[in-house]
Structure formats: structure tokens, C-alpha cells
Amino acid sequence: MPRTSNSSARKGPAPWGRTRRVLAGLLLAALASLVLAACGGSDENQGETVRLVIPAGTSKKVNAGKDVEGIPDRISASVGDTLVVENRDSSTQFISGFAISPGQTMKIPLLREGTYMTNCSAHRNRSIEMVVKA
């Protein structure tokens, strides 16, 4: 008697599960390369430091639909500069895909020229423009 195929009984993970794992792996690899770039190398070719301080009370203001004083709508920098984000708020903030815990300071190297609209939870519209020039 011939065997019949049961297409609903797949073995292994669902295709979307595999895609998630691949995307998570790529994101982790990109994050690791950014962290390594921020930690290593000589100081000779290092650019300027661009600081962004997220003040206490930011989450409450943003959740109430208010703008936060001191948080720019646009950050301008040059390739080789480092964006240093300090979170003084009581909530985790997210900038360009990075989670920055309360009290944490994160260094983000700016390695590529371009104009980017990226996520920023410290803004009422949840985005910030980053202009990185050569």
C-alpha cells in the first residue's frame, strides 16, 4: 500500500521561525561589530564626541504628548564621530535600535555617511534625524 504524504505534519521549525533566527543573528552580528568598533582601535583617527543627554522625566513627558527640552530633532556629525547617549530618565530609552537602560551611557560610532531617520523614544514622534557627513 503506497504511503500518502501529510503536508500538515512538517518536521522542523516553521519557516518564519527560521527567518526570525536569521534576522536575530544578523542583528546580533551588526551590534557586536558596532561595539567592537567602539572599543578598539587607536585614538589617532577618532572624531569628535557628540553628546545626547536624555533628562529625567522624559518618558512621562513623551507619554503625555509633550516635547522634551534639550532633545534635538536632528543630530549632525561627521564620519568617525561618536554619539554618546546618556539616559538620566527612569525608563529604558531606545535610539537607533539600541536599548539604553536608566543611568546607562552608550557610545555609538558613526561609521557611514548619510542622512537617516531613525527611532528615538525620547521624541514625541518617536524618531530623530541623523546627518553624518564625510
Per-residue pLDDT band at 42 (split at 50, 70, 90): very low
Give the other-Cβ count within 10 Å of 130's Cβ.
20
Residues 91 and 68 grouped into a single domain: yes
Structural domains counted in the chain: 2
Give the pLDDT mean for 90-98.
Answer: 91
CATH number at residue 83: 2.60.40.420
pLDDT in tens, 8-39: 455 555 555 666 666 555 555 555 555 544 45
Residue 12, classified by CB atoms within 10 Å of its CB into exposed (0-12), middle (13-18) or buried (19+), is exposed
pTM for the whole thing?
0.63
Question: 65: domain range?
Answer: 43-133
Give the pLDDT mean for 81-89.
Answer: 95
Residues 70 and 120 grouped into a single domain: yes
- Pick left, alpha or beta for residue 5 (phi over 0 → left; psi -120 to 50 → alpha; otherwise beta): beta
Asked whether residue 68 carries a pLDDT value surpassing 50, the answer given is yes
